[in-house]
Amino acid sequence: MGGSAVTHGDELLAARRVVVKVGSSSVSGENAGQIPELVASLAQLHAAGAQVILVSSGAIATGVPFLHLEERPDDLATQQAAAAVGQNILVNRYQRALTTHEIIAGQVLLTAHDIENPTHRDNARRAIERLLQLGILPIINENDTVATHEIRFGDNDRLAALVARLVDADRLVLLSDVDALYTAPPAMAGAERISEVAYGDPLAGIEIGESQSGWGTGGAATKVQAARLAADAGATVLLTETRLLAAVLGGSDHGTRFAARPA
C-alpha cells in the first residue's frame, strides 16, 4: 500500500485489544526458533498500548520429542501425556522470550465445555480481563490433557475466534505457515492472493483447502470459518504467515484481511 493508506500494521498497532493465534507448525519442532521473533511482535503491540492475548497451539507437537516418540500419537491418552509435557515446555519458551521485553505471561487452558457453559465462560472471561488489567499477557490453549475427541474445539483457529468474541477484541490475527488466502491452492498455477474479504463475502468459486501440516488440525477452511465468526462479532481479522507478522507491523502488505461486521 503506498501513500498515506492505512496498512494492516497501522490497524494492529492502533488496536485496543488484539488476539493473536499461532499454529503448531510455527512454534514447534525446527520452527521453535520462531518464538522470540513472534514474541518481539507481540511486545511491539503491547508497547503501542494494545492489550494482547496469544492463543497458541503446539503443546502436543512440543511434547512428543520429550516422550521419545517419532510422530504425533494417535491414541488419546498419549496425546494427553504429550500435551501435559509440551504445554509446560512451550509456555516456558514463551516466558523466556517475553522476559527480555519485561512482560509476564499467564497461562489459561480452556475446553470447549468451558466456552459453552455460561458459568465457566463467565469465569474464563473474568480471569482473562483481570490478567489484562494487571498487564499480563494471557497465553491460551485448548486443555488437551482433559479434552476428549467428542468435545474438542477441533482447531485453535475456532478457539481464537471464540476468545476474540468472549473478550470483545477489535482485532484477531490468525498466524500459520500460509501467508494468505488464495483463489486456489497456492501451489496451483494462476492462484492469486486475496488481500481483502468484505464482510459477508461468500467467497464463491474459491477453492479452500484443508491442513497440509502433519501437526496442525486446521487448514484454510477452518481459518475462513474462524475469521467469519470473529468478524461477525466486530473484530477485523488478518490471516498471514507467522514469520511475516514483523514485516506487517512494519508496514508491509501481506496476508488476507477480513472486514468486521459494520457497527
Q: What is the pLDDT along the chain (263 residues), one digit of tens a residue?
A: 345 688 999 999 999 999 999 999 999 999 999 999 999 999 999 999 999 999 999 999 999 999 998 888 888 899 999 999 999 999 999 999 999 999 999 999 998 788 889 999 999 999 999 999 999 999 999 887 787 665 566 678 999 999 999 999 999 999 988 899 998 887 888 889 999 999 999 888 776 655 444 334 457 888 999 999 999 999 999 999 999 999 999 999 999 999 999 98
The binding site consists of 21, 57, 144, 156, 176-177
Domain layout of the chain by residue ranges: 8-258
The binding site for ATP consists of 21, 176-177
Distances in whole angstroms, Cα of residue 19 to Cα of each of 28, 29, 54, 148, 185: 20, 24, 6, 25, 26
Which residues make Cβ contacts (< 8 Å) with residue 97, sequence separation at least 6? 35, 36, 38, 39, 40
Q: Say if CB 108 and CB 128 are below 8 A apart.
A: yes
Q: Note the pTM of the prediction, 2 decimals.
A: 0.92
The binding site for substrate consists of 57, 144, 156
CATH superfamily of 8-258: Acetylglutamate kinase-like (3.40.1160.10)
Distance CA 194, CA 97 (A): 33
Cell triple for residue 107? 497461562
